[in-house]
Amino acid sequence: MTHWTDRLFREQADLFADSFEDMFEAADEAVDALLDLLAEEYDCDPEQSLDIACGVGRHVLAFADRGVDAEGLDFSAEFVGRARERASDRGLGDRTEFHVADMRDLGEWSGSYDLITVFWNSLGYYGRETDLQVLADARELLAEDGVLVVEQSNRDFFLRNFDAATVSEDDDRFSVYRQEFDVETGRFSTRIDVFDAAGEGYDYVDRMEWENRLYAPPVLRELCEDAGFEDVALFGGFDGGDLSLESETVVTIAR
């Protein structure tokens, strides 16, 4: 059976990638805050970084803009193509490198990085054992004082503010979101029906579907420790704030 990631990130890559176009500024802000946090709390000023499941390269480009030699990998050739094109347009081709590669094959990777990142719920696409293996493989690629950073939506916040159906409108595109949560597996399922404006109405474009697991914060810590990390800290954002029920994201930093 085809995994949902194949359909969404390969077959529907053009449609899904469009949703990232308004998110580059947010990536810049996240990287600024993260670099400040790493410098202040970890004495880490990364020279070489790797972003796992980099998508269209939002964070890779932000790191490169700030002087880091930044690499990214993603198994979507469409996403990687867009990332390379944007890097060229921004004059960052000499500081960036993008690879069409699957994070499940990270054990075959070679290199040494001061910073490895996994943004935007990319940990949680597959099963727990796969996630654990990705973390363990990432640890093997870190330099001696290297740092791993994992971003996930805060499961506790998400459940307290769960909205089963929402609607968004962006220019001439109209999207209807429906979400479900499986208590037994801890996995969220999302379905988006996309419509484009046509005259006085809308034409149906397509449906995008995905599911991912959001780990409770203590489980994120446990996963990192099981992967071999000794120093694991949880924050309520890239600014280093305390994690609470009101934190929308969990930022895990491990070394």
The pLDDT score that the predictor gives to residue 170 is 79
Q: Where are the domains of the chain?
A: 4-156+215-254, 157-212
Residue 202's pLDDT is: 87
Q: What is the pLDDT of residue 1?
A: 67
pLDDT value of residue 5: 83
Q: Which of 79, 124, 139, 138 is closest to 250 using CA atoms?
A: 124
Tokens coding 197:
């404006």
The residues, any chain, with a CB within 8 Å of residue 207's CB and separated by 6 or more, are 191, 192, 193, 194
- Residue by residue, pLDDT tens for the chain (255 residues) are 678 888 877 888 777 767 666 666 889 999 999 999 999 999 999 999 999 999 999 999 999 999 999 999 999 999 999 999 999 999 999 999 999 999 999 999 989 999 999 998 999 999 899 999 999 999 999 999 999 999 999 999 989 998 888 888 877 888 898 999 888 888 889 898 989 888 888 899 888 888 889 999 999 999 999 999 999 999 999 999 999 999 999 999 999
Q: What is the pLDDT of residue 71?
A: 98
pLDDT of residue 14: 78
Q: What is the pLDDT of residue 6?
A: 82
CA angle 61, 32, 162 (to 5 degrees): 95
Do the beta carbons of residue 233 and residue 240 sit within 8 Å?
no
- Global pTM? 0.91
Can you point out the beta strands (E) in the chain?
A: 48-52, 69-74, 96-100, 113-118, 142-153, 165-170, 173-182, 187-198, 201-213, 232-235, 249-254
Which residue type does 169 have?
E
Please list the residues that pair with 218 across neighbouring strands.
none
E strand map for 95-244: 96-100, 113-118, 142-153, 165-170, 173-182, 187-198, 201-213, 232-235
pLDDT, residue 19, reads 66
Residues forming a β-bridge with 15: none
Q: Average pLDDT, whole number, for the chain?
A: 92
Residue 113 tokens, joined? 């990085």
The yes or no reply on domain 4-156+215-254 and CATH 3.40.50.150 is: yes
4-156+215-254 and 157-212 have identical folds = no
Instruction: Give the homologous superfamily in CATH for domain 157-212.
Output: S-adenosyl-L-methionine-dependent methyltransferases (2.20.25.110)
Task: Report pLDDT for 24.
Answer: 66
Three-class secondary structure of residue 244 per DSSP: coil
Amino acid identity for residue 57 in this structure = G
Structure confidence at residue 4 (pLDDT): 82
Q: Is 246 helix (H, G, I), strand (E, B) or coil?
A: coil
Q: What is residue 172's predicted lDDT score, i.e. its pLDDT?
A: 84
